């Protein structure tokens, strides 16, 4: 039987079809022209054209976060591929499954400094789960399987971005087509299940604990373990704190939710951890934004740590029981193994923490506090939006004042902290879930890092809402300079911002402005009524509002700085 030979570009599109990729985010260029030519006739997949490759990577990331599927982005060789780097690093830090397809110069030119050549597989080794350059004959022979392997690796185990670098002559030239057999792929593994003895030990520890706290992270989103987490929490009367990544995995309005702990977390969540005698950590990795000074973090707590990535266990904080397994399976087994318990006296303490340390901000007549804008957004959207954020104060206020009830409604760059992420992520989210309300909570600094994607939203008729909390500052840096550098505001003044309303209109989007607190709701309602194009709403918020609570970097939960309002009460 003779082997079927097809152009590499056709093989790529066939694998897209196998993987149910019906949309990707890509920007053409010389080295990917054969792929775009094949795309011209393709019926089952289309490319969304961002205006910068960084937008493509973030859009694929947003798409992946809200759909749970692998997001796909594409760029040409050299500068195009280099522009994906920030997006790949963002996805890598947050374990988001992306397949990035990059063009490369012809195989005989690789390594010769040819036009638009960059060593993209070299550049992206530290920020991808794995990457491939299809250059040698044995790689070209396996081309369809390498593509399948890329998708498999991106979504399996601890998910993450995978890059496939395809030279022009490979996508233009013939490759052998082989049928799909996932289980035969290099690297295929069964889902990791926990050891029974470890589950039993963990159950014993929960039963023996007086002050247990369940800390959940982004792994719960990836594993789809929200229902299992809730069952465990309710069976054992566990209070639940979530990392920024796990927002929505446990309903934030649930009485057992103690919010988000950490640097800008709710003080009551931080206090719960600080007083805990047992931390049950599922799909979280003891990031420094959660722990602060490690030596003073949860000093009395034993640790049960469940993570799909064995390397996370004992990496930062030693676990008395470490379970390297899928969060959903492990949580389910743990819930079955453990006996029901009530919260006992701990419950009263927790409620006291909550009562003593609520979030607060200055809600005064003449001010339009940024927190007020987010709160009103929450009220009038009844918490049903998919929220993306930029990075900085806007991100923390979104985390504080837009509580979520479900996972996969939250896109934020938690690990890398990438300004410019939220807008393209909102585009990806809206493409992935067209019927949903998608809102990007932005700052006037961040939004300008990927502002060009307004064109994408307009062409694609995406009714995303971009809420700019405009204080004409790089607010988070200004806050640090305020608190630690005697208000020596250096390099943070964004005087010279464009007129965002006219900018939106120039792109064909809707621009709205609100400078008075009485108009917040009406303006938001006006924005929500638009259903065929992006809306940019420029809220002129109070300029020097700080995010509280605030634990300075490297300090501990004992050093929480509260909202000044509370201190004067």
Kindly state whether residue 111 participates in binding another protein, applying the rule CB under 8 A: no
**Choice from 79, 111, 122, 434 touching another protein (CB under 8 A):** 122
Question: How far apart (Å, rounded) are the C-alpha atoms in residues 569 and 488?
Answer: 28
**Choice from 33, 178, 310, 540 touching another protein (CB under 8 A):** 310
Task: List binders of another protein among 15-44 (CB under 8 A).
Answer: none
Least separation in angstroms between residue 72's CB and another protein is 19
Q: How many residues does the chain have?
A: 569
**Choice from 17, 234, 277, 309 touching another protein (CB under 8 A):** 309
For residues 136 and 532, which CB has a smaller minimum distance to another protein in the complex?
136
Candidate segments 56-64, 71-79, 121-129, 543-551, binder of another protein by CB under 8 A = 121-129
Kindly state whether residue 189 participates in binding another protein, applying the rule CB under 8 A: no
Phi/psi of residue 281, nearest 5 degrees: -105, 120
Question: How far apart (Å, rounded) are the C-alpha atoms in residues 82 and 118?
Answer: 8
Kindly state whether residue 296 participates in binding another protein, applying the rule CB under 8 A: no
Candidate segments 117-125, 400-408, 535-543, 553-561, binder of another protein by CB under 8 A = 117-125
Task: Return the closest-CA partner of residue 35 out of 52, 14, 63, 58.
Answer: 14
Least separation in angstroms between residue 135's CB and another protein is 8
**Strand 410-411 to 386-389 pairing:** parallel
Show the tokens assigned to 424: 């393209």
**Choice from 227, 300, 314, 364 touching another protein (CB under 8 A):** 314
Least separation in angstroms between residue 134's CB and another protein is 11
Kindly state whether residue 196 participates in binding another protein, applying the rule CB under 8 A: no
Kindly state whether residue 349 participates in binding another protein, applying the rule CB under 8 A: no
- Name the CA dihedral angle for 100, 105, 107, 112, rounded to a multiple of 10 degrees: -120
Kindly state whether residue 315 participates in binding another protein, applying the rule CB under 8 A: yes
- CB 442 within 8 Å of CB 466: yes
For residues 151 and 473, which CB has a smaller minimum distance to another protein in the complex?
151
Candidate segments 236-244, 313-321, 355-363, 468-476, binder of another protein by CB under 8 A = 313-321
**Strand 438-443 to 465-470 pairing:** parallel
Tally Cβ neighbours within 10 Å of residue 58: 36
Task: Return the closest-CA partner of residue 256 out of 196, 346, 184.
Answer: 346
Kindly state whether residue 136 participates in binding another protein, applying the rule CB under 8 A: yes
Handedness of CA 467, 471, 473, 474 (dihedral sign): negative
**Choice from 31, 107, 121, 446 touching another protein (CB under 8 A):** 121
Least separation in angstroms between residue 126's CB and another protein is 5
Count of residues interacting with another protein (CB under 8 A): 18
- CB 453 within 8 Å of CB 477: no
Task: Return the closest-CA partner of residue 30 out of 175, 173, 176, 166.
Answer: 166
- CB 244 within 8 Å of CB 410: no
Task: List binders of another protein among 465-494 (CB under 8 A).
Answer: none
Cα–Cα distances (Å) from 461 to 373, 427, 457, 520, in that order, read 25, 10, 6, 25
Q: DSSP 3-state assignment of 307?
A: strand
Least separation in angstroms between residue 139's CB and another protein is 9
Q: DSSP 3-state assignment of 300?
A: coil
Kindly state whether residue 129 participates in binding another protein, applying the rule CB under 8 A: yes
**Choice from 59, 133, 411, 469 touching another protein (CB under 8 A):** 133
Burial 127-137 (b: 16+ CB within 10 A, else e): bbbbbbbbbee
For residues 91 and 209, which CB has a smaller minimum distance to another protein in the complex?
91
Candidate segments 59-67, 125-133, 531-539, 550-558, binder of another protein by CB under 8 A = 125-133
Task: Return the closest-CA partner of residue 329 out of 225, 214, 234, 241.
Answer: 225
For residues 136 and 190, which CB has a smaller minimum distance to another protein in the complex?
136
Residues of this chain that interact with another protein (CB under 8 A) are: 121-122, 125-126, 129-130, 133, 135-136, 153, 186-187, 309-311, 314-315, 318
């Amino acid at each position: 039987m003779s082997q079927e030979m097809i152009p590499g570009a056709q093989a790529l599109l066939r694998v897209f079809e196998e993987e149910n990729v019906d949309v990707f985010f890509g920007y053409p260029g010389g080295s990917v022209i054969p792929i775009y030519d094949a795309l011209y006739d393709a019926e089952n997949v289309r490319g969304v054209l961002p205006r910068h490759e960084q937008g493509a990577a973030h859009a694929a990331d947003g798409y992946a976060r809200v759909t749970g599927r692998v997001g796909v982005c594409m760029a040409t060789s050299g500068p195009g591929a280099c522009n994906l780097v920030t997006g790949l690093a963002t996805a890598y830090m947050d374990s988001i499954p992306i397949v990035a397809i990059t063009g490369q110069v012809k195989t005989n030119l690789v390594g010769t400094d040819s036009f638009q050549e960059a060593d993209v597989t070299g550049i992206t080794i530290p920020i991808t789960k794995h990457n491939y350059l299809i250059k040698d004959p044995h790689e070209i022979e396996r081309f369809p399987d390498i593509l399948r392997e890329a998708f498999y690796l991106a979504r399996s185990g601890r998910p993450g971005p995978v890059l496939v670098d395809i030279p022009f002559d490979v996508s233009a030239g013939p490759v052998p087509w082989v049928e799909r057999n996932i289980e035969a792929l290099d690297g295929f593994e069964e889902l990791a299940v926990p050891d029974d003895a470890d589950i039993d030990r963990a159950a014993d520890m929960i039963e023996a604990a007086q002050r247990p706290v369940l800390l959940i992270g982004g792994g719960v989103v990836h594993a789809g373990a929200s229902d299992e987490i809730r069952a465990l929490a309710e069976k054992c009367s566990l209070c639940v704190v979530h990392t920024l990544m796990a927002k929505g995995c446990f309903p934030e309005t649930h009485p057992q939710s103690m919010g988000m702990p950490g640097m800008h977390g709710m003080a009551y969540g931080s206090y719960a951890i600080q007083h805990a005698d047992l931390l049950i950590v599922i799909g979280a990795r003891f990031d420094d934004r959660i722990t602060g000074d490690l030596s003073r973090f949860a000093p009395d707590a034993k640790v049960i740590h469940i993570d799909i990535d064995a390397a996370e266990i004992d990496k930062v904080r030693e676990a008395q029981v470490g379970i390297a397994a899928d969060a959903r399976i492990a949580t389910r087994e743990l819930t079955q193994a453990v006996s029901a318990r009530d919260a006992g006296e701990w419950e009263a303490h927790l409620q006291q923490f909550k009562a003593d340390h609520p979030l607060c901000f200055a809600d005064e007549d003449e001010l339009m506090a940024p927190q007020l804008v987010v709160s009103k957004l929450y009220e009038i959207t009844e918490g049903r939006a998919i929220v993306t954020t930029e990075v900085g104060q806007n991100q923390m206020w979104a985390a504080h004042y837009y509580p979520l009830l479900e996972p996969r409604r939250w896109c934020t760059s938690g690990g890398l902290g990438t300004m410019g992420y939220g807008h393209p992520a909102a585009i990806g989210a809206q493409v992935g879930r067209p019927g949903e309300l998608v809102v990007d909570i932005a700052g006037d600094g961040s939004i300008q890092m990927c502002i060009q994607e307004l064109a994408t939203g307009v062409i694609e008729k995406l009714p995303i809402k971009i809420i700019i909390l405009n204080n004409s500052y790089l607010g988070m840096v200004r806050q640090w300079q305020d608190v630690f550098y005697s208000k020596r505001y250096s390099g943070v003044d964004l005087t010279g911002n464009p007129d965002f309303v006219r900018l939106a209109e120039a792109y064909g989007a809707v621009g709205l402005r609100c400078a008075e607190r009485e108009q917040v709701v009406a303006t938001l309602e006006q924005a929500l009524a638009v259903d065929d194009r992006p809306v940019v709403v420029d809220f002129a918020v109070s300029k020097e509002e700080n995010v509280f609570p605030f634990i300075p970097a490297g300090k501990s939960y004992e050093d929480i700085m509260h909202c000044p309002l509370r201190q004067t009460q």
